[in-house]
Amino acid sequence: MTTKQTCKEISRRDFLRLSAAAAGAAVFMGPASAVPLFAESDGAGNVDVNSLPATLFDVSRCVGCRSCEEACVLAKDRHPTAEDWEKLSANRYSFIDEVEVEPRPRWVQKQCMHCLEPACVAACTVGALKKTPEGVVVIDKAKCFGCRYCQYACPFNVPAYDWADPFGIVHKCDFCIENQRMGEPIACVAACPTGALDFGTRGEMLALAHNRIKANPRIYVDHVYGEFEVGGTRRLYISDVNMSMLGLRNLPHDAVPPKTEAVMGKTPVIAAGVAGVATAIYALVGRRNEKRSIDVEESQS
Amino acid sequence: MTSITLRERSRSAARTVLMELDATMILLFLVMSAGLFAGVWRLFTGLGASTNLNDGFGWGLWIGFDFSLIAFSGAGFTMAFVGHVLGLKRFHNAMRVGVLTGLLGYVGVLFLLILDLGRWDRFYSFMINWNIHSPLFEICWCVLLYSMVLMFENLPQVLEGIGRHKLAHVIHKALMPIVILGVTLSSLHQSTLGTLYLAMPHRLHAFWYTPLLPLQFFTSSIMVGLSVAVMAYLLATSIRKMDADAKVVNGLALGAAGAGLVYAALKIGDVIASGEIAAIMANEPMANLWKGEVLLGVIVPLILLLIPRLRRSQRNVVLATSLFALGVLFNRFNATLFAQRSPKGYDYVASSLEWVSTIGVLAGVALVWYLAVKYLPILQEKHTG
């Protein structure tokens, strides 16, 4: 009986020490939650997101020649099949969406929007999706393990999984980041023959968009799509018909990542809280219950 | 010396198993084998060839069952809490069944996750590539660590089964910090499964999307965890032809009802506060889906459990706990599939391979559970302190 009690005594002391250590570790881990989501721009606070690259797609100027589509496929060495027609896929990072509008159809380029606060980057289980210092959202193919959470986090349904590959990962437009770094034009913009696609800093593109709208208020809808949608994007659109008719969804202006971060940032606090409460319950209730049941057994035997 | 007795013991155990092969085992084994074949087929042919998943429906049957199974396996942490943290010795047997059910549930979860993962050969990626902002990153770690915790919590039972009573006793005594760790890891990832959906305000229907999702997922995991614990305990006692302790069944069912009350308040309170209740009253598909989920999966079982006269019948307790489980299954599938607004031009009906592999995984863990209940001292005739 006495040996049993000592054994119990030690384990209880060890246990309390361990839980104290756990609580300490949780507090120590606290600053980890302060790691900013997008360190290269918003976290530092001194990088002007509008000084970084963006495009402007002018729906009124696109004639649907699909040169940009072709240029993208060649630049990214993709091999689209008939199944990849008019949709984003692992074989097509950018496409021209034809929309029936009276009296003539419209064409809209669809690809990764390169959000200022990308939901996919916050969601990515393995941190394969990242924002580069240029503000471009890229995917590290060596990290992605194909969980496809990004497909659900993306407000634009952009990330595409390679369904044909037995060991598939997610693919998407990388804004021709390599070209950009070498000072070369990005594939789709370079291919556009009608001036529907412009490339520059986000500030320049916004100014261009608003100037065009101001110059031709009767042609353009007064809406620069991507200026504010889900916190802003680097692929901007202006159009002579309503954005919602073009499959450009009506989205709120607040970014997605803070919604999960509001909870994720509290992880250490929640962990310490639960461990603390459970320990307290054991110390106050559990030990007494255990003792009582042992007493009952002893009195029975 | 010991090794000889051990060998003899395992030999005689194997003989007993072979002698006592029954219809349940054979059936579960066959279904599991079919699932194994389907699963291996999928691993080497890829998701496109074996499933109906697509870029509009990246997640389907596997993830729906996966997230439900994680909630069901809440039987592990809730029962460890009841048995170890609250120290209620009366629930000792039910706790041992509960942590066994939890462990096997998580084993099933891991199998389904591997099936769903594109680069399943790179499953360890989350261990070396960290994104502490990602809900799924946290879930991966918690599921991994908690599975280990569950192995520890089941170790004494296994050691007793092979006659290592002293070692089992030592481990049992040292279990408390591990139990607290398990409760903490569970609270984290059960709620984070709700946080997961907070990244989808543009996809998940407003009736389901709410900042309360983490709390809803957490409380419902307690509700369904205790429900599964009740059903597992009743099933295990009937397999071992023992009497179930009516007070234990009653206590756990009441616990499930308590969590169910909080869950109901979080579900219904949320739609009242957001004003969505008016739209939910309409006769519209999404509204009916929500009403079906809450009425059948929360309200009806609550009535069955909270009215003492109804609760007295064990059949009603079984019905109520089954409805809680069905309600959570319904809820997780709604959140992953039915209440998701997917892009135009995509649809999804699970392929037969997805069904066969899912049912196969479930049959496999059910088989191991059945064997464990039958041949390991999970249930004890007399409680030993």
Q: Specify the CATH number for the domain of residue B107.
A: 1.20.1630.10
Mind listing the pLDDT tens digit for each residue in B240-285?
999 999 999 999 999 999 999 999 999 999 999 999 999 999 999 9
Contacts of A165 in chain B (CB under 8 A): 46, 48, 118
Nearest CA in chain B to A143: B125
Amino acid making up residue B21: L
Percent residues over pLDDT 90 in chain B? 90
Helices B135-161 and B92-116: crossing angle in degrees, nearest 10, is: 130
Taking CA atoms, A154 is separated from A198, A256, A272, B56, in Å, by 24, 9, 32, 11
Q: B47 vs chain A: nearest CA distance in angstroms?
A: 6
CB contact under 8 A, B133 and A126: no
Nearest CA in chain A to B344: A247
**Euclidean distance between CA atoms A296 and B281, whole angstroms:** 54
**Euclidean distance between CA atoms B96 and B105, whole angstroms:** 14
Helices B165-173 and A2-29: crossing angle in degrees, nearest 10, is: 50
Out of B120, B133, B184, the one facing A122 most closely (by C-beta) is B133
Q: Does residue B254 lie within any of the structural domains?
A: yes
Is residue B27 classed as helix, strand or coil in its secondary structure?
helix
pLDDT at position A15 over 60: no
CB contact under 8 A, A286 and B84: yes
CB contact under 8 A, A19 and B177: yes
Mind listing the pLDDT tens digit for each residue in A42-60?
444 557 889 999 999 999 9
Contacts of B90 in chain A (CB under 8 A): 293
Into how many domains does chain B fold? 1
User: Which domain covers residue B340, as residue numbers?
Assistant: 53-348
Q: A133 vs chain B: nearest CA distance in angstroms?
A: 18
Is residue B340 classed as helix, strand or coil in its secondary structure?
strand
Q: Does residue B385 lie within any of the structural domains?
A: no
Mind listing the pLDDT tens digit for each residue in A63-72?
999 999 999 9
Nearest CA in chain B to A254: B201
Out of A87, A256, A294, the one facing B199 most closely (by C-beta) is A256
pLDDT at position B298 over 60: yes
Contacts of B85 in chain A (CB under 8 A): 278, 281-282, 286
Q: Does residue B82 lie within any of the structural domains?
A: yes
Nearest CA in chain B to A18: B177
Is residue B109 classed as helix, strand or coil in its secondary structure?
helix
> What are the sequence ranges of the domains in chain A?
47-262
Its pTM stands at 0.91
CB contact under 8 A, A256 and B117: no
Instruction: Identify which of B94, B252, B382, B107 has the alpha carbon closest to the alpha carbon of residue A293.
Output: B382
Q: Does residue B16 lie within any of the structural domains?
A: no
Amino acid making up residue B279: A
Q: Which H or E run includes B88?
A: none
Domain spanning A47-262, CATH architecture:
2-Layer Sandwich (3.30)
Q: Does residue B379 lie within any of the structural domains?
A: no
Q: B146 vs chain A: nearest CA distance in angstroms?
A: 13
Q: Does residue B378 lie within any of the structural domains?
A: no
Instruction: Judge residue B273's burial from the number of C-beta atoms within 10 Å of its C-beta, 0-12 exposed, 13-18 middle, 19 or more buried.
Output: exposed
Contacts of A262 in chain B (CB under 8 A): 198, 211
Nearest CA in chain A to B182: A275
pLDDT at position A168 over 80: yes
Q: A281 vs chain B: nearest CA distance in angstroms?
A: 7
Contacts of B120 in chain A (CB under 8 A): 145-146, 167
CB contact under 8 A, A125 and B126: yes
The predicted pLDDT at position B4 comes to 59
Give the mean pLDDT of A204-225.
97
CB contact under 8 A, A275 and B184: yes
